């Protein structure tokens, strides 16, 4: 290859990067950022290219020693991957793709799948920037997926590569966040409206559901709510588990004051159509620029039910709270009115999870065939653009699956590494259409190895839930569609003679929960006929029945073979791999003579990319 051709390729590459914005070089702006430790010593920036399946990280740490960043799992750090690097006192840099062979010992991978883009040290920080594929062909590298990722960060005070637990941190992050808030429009006429409790005395109970009814903003013409965020008092944050805002039908007769949402007065559980929601770990959320929650027309709700779930496990007395939700709204109308559809397992009283379960799956079915009849007017196809997943402490994974005419169409959303402490509204990579007659199935995966008694569905954090909220447009009147299994069938399969559902649930306490019986119960729940409960904003309820369809699991995508090392034979995964690009013919020593000038003109990062593409060794 001639120098002229090399320079032309580099120029084309640079222009492509400028116009397409897909590759992230050594100086490209990375859109996302987060502190990874409580003392704000470790700061992470990142961005990604979904098409190329490459993610770029920049780790900045207040240290003159080594720094490391990788991915770990929920249960152990053994097997975690960690990319490490630093600057020696003489100015030389070191950089390596490694993994943990035990809790404290690092070992270099046979395949080096991280590409260094920059490593500097000044009087305050050591900064390391590198890219890596979402999935390499090295079994020592954890995949980057659209699930919750447990990011592992570590550093040392000098250049001795030794893990210190006081300087090692794990933080759950949704790395592949599709929409960045800076990419969204903020109207100039934005108005703020707060929905909150005022000086509410949190009871000295483990679990409290406090509800009150509040008016939405009074406006003379149609407006759109386009963003919401939690309002939390700092000293009470650990007590607030979730906040939900439910739209009330305009025919509803609502009580006054604050009371237990699901207590003696059933009026405080009125209104069941969620319009916005926040849970532990979440932050603010702004809707896409073409959708919003409509207020101000005769068809729009005028009142809402504000529900705040408090978890006061230490029974602390005398704590007052004024938490709530802040709404942002505008007269600049969006194209679509949005709604929220609640799916999952009908929480109470049928849901149960055996103790001592390594894995237990629960299912909730939704059948949409009655939506139009219950809605009162034709229901257009809905476009789903976002979702919120919700279980309590035993939850490990969730997914929502769509079926049409008896055939699985797609997995709408999932999280195989769900973290109770990171519950946030997430955007889908593209809009997904649901038609009248489709079936929607929610699967929740639980683990109860730390429990010696049954876990039942219910409101407390130590109870369980299995819920997925789909954010969609255009809005209709359906608020929820959830299912539960025939518990009498389940009890009979477990050898218990019962005649009604209450006896069936009580009989679960008689079962010896061996691994065999746990699997038998899971199978019985899946094979039992499901009752599907559909509810509208006006509290109209109808039931139907159905059966749980099989789920076709999504295969892992192809892996990217590294051009910077050799994959060890025992590490090669059976799912296949995507090879590094084929070398262009004619690469020779003539190319190598151009490299110093090319690096000077275009930068070492750009040159490294091109060389990897051409498979030129230096």
Q: Which residues are catalytic?
A: 209, 390
Say how far apart CA 523 and CA 521 lie, in whole Å: 5
Best CA proximity match to 56, nearest among 76, 83, 37 = 83
- State how far the alpha carbon of 227 is from the alpha carbons of 193, 250, 275, in Å: 11, 23, 11
Give Cβ neighbours of residue 237 (< 8 Å, ≥ 6 apart). Answer: none
Helix, strand, or coil (residue 199):
coil
Say how far apart CA 244 and CA 324 lie, in whole Å: 9
Pairing of strands 168-173, 149-155: antiparallel
Q: Is the peptide bond prior to 474 cis by the omega test (within 30 degrees of 0)?
A: yes
Residue matched to tokens 């709404």:
327
- Helices 3-20 and 589-602 meet at what angle, rounded to 10? 40
- Helices 589-602 and 604-614 meet at what angle, rounded to 10? 150
Give Cβ neighbours of residue 431 (< 8 Å, ≥ 6 apart). Answer: 383, 384, 385
Tokens of residue 2, six digits: 């001639």
Helix, strand, or coil (residue 493):
helix
Say how far apart CA 455 and CA 4 lie, in whole Å: 70
What is the Cβ-side half-sphere exposure of residue 602, based on CA atoms within 13 angstroms? 25
Beta bridge partners of 129: 58, 118
- State how far the alpha carbon of 600 is from the alpha carbons of 5, 597, 606, in Å: 16, 5, 10
* Torsion 275-279-284-287 (CA) sign: negative
Using an 8 Å Cβ cutoff, are 304 and 195 in contact? yes
């Amino acid at each position: 290859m001639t120098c002229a051709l090399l320079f032309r390729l580099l120029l084309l590459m640079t222009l492509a990067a400028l116009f397409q914005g897909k590759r992230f070089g050594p100086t490209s702006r990375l859109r996302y950022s987060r502190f990874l430790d409580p003392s704000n010593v470790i700061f992470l920036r990142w961005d990604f290219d979904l098409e190329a399946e490459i993610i770029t990280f920049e780790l900045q740490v207040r240290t003159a020693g080594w720094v490391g960043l990788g991915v770990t799992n929920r249960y152990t750090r053994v097997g975690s991957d960690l990319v490490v690097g630093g600057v020696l006192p003489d100015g030389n840099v070191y950089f390596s793709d490694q993994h943990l062979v035990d809790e404290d010992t690092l070992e270099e991978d046979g395949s080096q799948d991280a590409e260094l883009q920059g490593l500097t040290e000044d009087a305050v920080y050591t900064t390391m920037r590198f890219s890596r594929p979402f999935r390499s062909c090295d079994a020592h590298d954890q995949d980057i997926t659209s699930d919750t990722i447990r990011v592992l960060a570590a550093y040392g005070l000098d250049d001795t590569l030794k893990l210190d637990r006081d300087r090692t941190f794990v933080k759950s992050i949704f790395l592949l966040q599709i929409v960045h808030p800076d990419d969204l429009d903020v109207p100039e006429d934005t108005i703020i409206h707060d929905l909150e409790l005022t000086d509410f005395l949190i009871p000295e109970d483990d679990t409290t559901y406090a509800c009150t009814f509040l008016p939405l903003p009074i406006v003379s013409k149609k407006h759109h709510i386009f963003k919401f965020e939690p309002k939390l008092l700092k000293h009470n944050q650990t007590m607030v588990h979730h906040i939900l805002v439910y739209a009330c039908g305009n025919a509803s007769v609502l009580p006054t004051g604050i009371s237990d949402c699901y207590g003696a007065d059933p009026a405080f559980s009125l209104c069941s159509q969620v319009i916005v929601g926040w849970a532990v770990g979440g932050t603010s959320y702004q809707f896409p620029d073409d959708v919003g929650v409509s207020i101000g027309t005769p068809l729009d709700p005028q009142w809402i039910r504000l529900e705040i779930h408090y978890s006061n496990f230490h029974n602390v007395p005398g704590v007052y709270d004024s938490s709530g939700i802040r709404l942002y709204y505008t007269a600049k109308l969006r194209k679509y009115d949005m709604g929220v559809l609640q799916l999952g397992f009908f929480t109470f009283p049928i849901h149960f999870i055996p103790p001592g379960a390594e894995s237990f799956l629960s299912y909730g079915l939704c059948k949409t065939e009655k939506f139009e009849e219950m809605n009162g007017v034709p229901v257009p196809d809905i476009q789903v653009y976002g979702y919120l997943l919700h279980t309590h402490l035993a939850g490990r994974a969730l997914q929502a699956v769509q079926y049409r005419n008896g055939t699985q169409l797609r997995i709408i959303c999932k999280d195989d590494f769900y973290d109770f402490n990171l519950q946030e509204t997430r955007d889908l990579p593209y809009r997904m259409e649901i038609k009248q007659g489709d079936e929607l199935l929610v699967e929740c995966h639980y683990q109860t190895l730390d429990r010696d008694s049954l876990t039942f569905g219910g409101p407390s954090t130590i109870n369980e839930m299995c819920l997925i909220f789909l954010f969609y447009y255009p809005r209709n009147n359906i608020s929820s569609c959830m299912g539960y299994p025939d518990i009498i069938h389940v009890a009979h399969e477990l050898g218990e003679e019962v005649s009604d559902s209450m006896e069936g649930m009580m009989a679960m306490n008689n079962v010896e929960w061996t691994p065999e019986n746990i699997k038998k119960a899971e199978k019985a729940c899946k094979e039992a006929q499901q009752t599907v409960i559909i509810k509208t904003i006006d509290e109209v309820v109808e039931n139907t029945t159905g059966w749980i369809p099989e789920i076709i699991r999504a295969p892992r995508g192809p892996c990217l073979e590294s051009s910077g090392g050799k994959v060890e034979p025992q590490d090669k995964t059976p799912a296949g791999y995507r090879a590094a690009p084929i070398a262009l013919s004619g690469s020779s020593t003539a190319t190598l003579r151009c490299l110093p000038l090319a690096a000077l003109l275009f930068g070492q990062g750009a040159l490294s990319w091109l060389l990897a593409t051409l498979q030129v060794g230096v």
